Amino acid sequence: MSSARFLRSVTLAGVLFAVAGCKPQSDGQTSADVPNGEQLYTVHCANCHGPSLEGEPDWRQRKANGRLPAPPHDASGHTWHHPIDMLFRMTRDGIVPPLAPDGYQSDMPAFAGTLADNEIRAVLSYIESRWPAEIRQMRAQRFNPPAP
Ligand code: HEC
């Protein structure tokens, strides 16, 4: 990681911590191991999803082979639309039934066997930590509403 990017991510994390009241907010389903998650992301995900979670260029256009490029995991993508449990299963098992039709062809690898469950949770915590506070609050309401 370049030092400029490192400084930027430290600054962003500082802003998010301040917004969230000095405590990283989560929808309560991921671990809080964000630093470990960032390292794992860099090693295992950044190649396709981009070092800054920006996704592949033209990620909405199918490739010549009919497959979709890797979408961004930052707020410009659709990762944040899905509950953590679904993101966890897509990362562990790949984009396979029941989350995709039978025979669906995808370049997203299954990480079962490469990453332990708690490592997958750490990566997802890191991704989640990069979403703006409004998105995280909205997710907390939608996916993990407070008990009535
Ligand atoms: C070899 C390239 C590649 C690597 C490495 C990779 N991905 Fe993906 N990923 C993709 C592609 C391509 C898609 C879109 C698949 C599709 O929809 O057919 C995708 C989709 C996803 C989705 C679904 C997003 C959504 O909104 O539907 C998640 C979650 C995801 N990846 C997480 C990860 C995580 C976490 C890592 C690292 C542990 C990772 N990916 C590593 C290529 C990759």
Summarised one tens digit per residue, pLDDT across range 15-57 is 444 433 333 444 544 566 899 999 999 999 999 999 999 999 9
Q: Does domain 24-143 have CATH number 3.40.640.10?
A: no
Q: Give this prediction's pTM.
A: 0.83
Q: Whose CA is nearest to atom 12 of ligand 1?
A: 70
Which portions of the chain are predicted below pLDDT 70? 1-32
User: Closest ligand 1 atom to the C-alpha of 127?
Assistant: 35
Residue 5 has a pLDDT of: 55
Distance CA 104, CA 74 (A): 25
Nearest-atom index, ligand 1, CA of 79:
26
Give the burial string for 53-87 (b: 16+ CB within 10 Å, else e). Answer: bbbbeebeeeeeeeebbbbbbbeebebbeeebeeb
The predicted pLDDT at position 147 comes to 78
Ligand 1 pocket check: which of 41, 47, 48 to mutate, most ligand atoms within 8 Å of Cβ? Answer: 48
Provide the pLDDT for residue 75.
97
**Residue spans per domain, the chain:** 24-143
pLDDT of residue 146: 76
Q: What is the pLDDT of residue 26?
A: 45
